[in-house]
Amino acid sequence: MPNTWHDGIVRKIDPIAPNVRSFQVEVPEVQSFDFQAGQFVTMDLPIGEKRLQRWRSYSIANAPIGTNQLELCIVNAPQGLGSTYLFEEIQEGAILKFKGPDGGFVLPEKIEKDLVFICTGTGIAPFRSMILDLKNSGKTHRNLHLIFGTREESGILYRDEFEALAREMPDFQYDVALSRQDDWLGWKGHIHQIYLEQYATPRPDVEFYLCGWSNMIDEAVANLMIKMGYDRSQIHYELYG
């Protein structure tokens, strides 16, 4: 199925933050679009002649629940031909050609360690899928900690949902850092301070999953391995851009 091309119908487009939209896509040719939480799909967009110019990959933001519905969380990136096309040309009812699911950024079959999810912006998409999947499936897991960073409060993606999960799930912790809002009562600055403080003493029973732009991931990997002393095998990441 990963190499099969599908025609998805855009059923709903929701603005969920400034410059970020949720695209709800139905895959009518199948009853169930099967994927693992954390995987992505690759679209073929009419924005160039060559394959590498046209193909854009986006993580699936909803949990696999046996339906033919997908949710994609997409930011309108500056000078991004793909996101510009999606934001300016695609309307509800449009067809999007895509293949997938692909990707190995998924949780282990048996979860025996605490999981720390570190992300910025739309890098939250695969973690939303993973966390909702764990909740829906009732799969055995240990503590979950979602660390999300953005500039301002208006950019906190899926905030109500995660705050509700933090109330409902005693093993789920949710922290947000804002880098450009002085009146924010939570963590101020970048996300790195949160895990640097809360996981300062290296432990063998924790795994870190990172998703976002390369500069954030590079800094986090360096912090975790060099500054904090975690083993490379405890760090997993998915790169955007």
- The string of DSSP letters for 164-178 reads HHHHH-TTEEEEEEE
Task: Tell me: do 204 and 130 sit in the same domain.
Answer: yes
2, pLDDT greater than 70: no
162: pLDDT strictly greater than 70: yes
Q: Give the pLDDT of residue 53.
A: 85
**Which residue range is the domain that position 42 belongs to?**
5-102
Residue 24 pLDDT grade (very low, low, confident, very high; cuts 50, 70, 90): very high
Q: What pLDDT does residue 1 have?
A: 60
CATH code of 199's domain: 3.40.50.80
In a domain, 155, yes or no: yes
* Predicted local confidence at residue 89, as pLDDT: 96
Q: What pLDDT is recorded for position 218? A: 97
Round the average pLDDT of the chain to a whole number and report it: 95
Co-location of 118 and 207 in the same domain: yes
Residues 63-73 have pLDDT tens digits of 999 999 999 99
* 117-152: b (≥16 Cβ within 10 Å) or e: bbbbbbbbbbbbbbbbbbbeeeeebeebbbbbbbee
CATH code (residue 10):
2.40.30.10
Residue 241, pLDDT above cutoff 60: no
Q: How much is the pLDDT for 46?
A: 95
Total count of domains within the chain = 2
Q: What is the pTM of this model?
A: 0.96
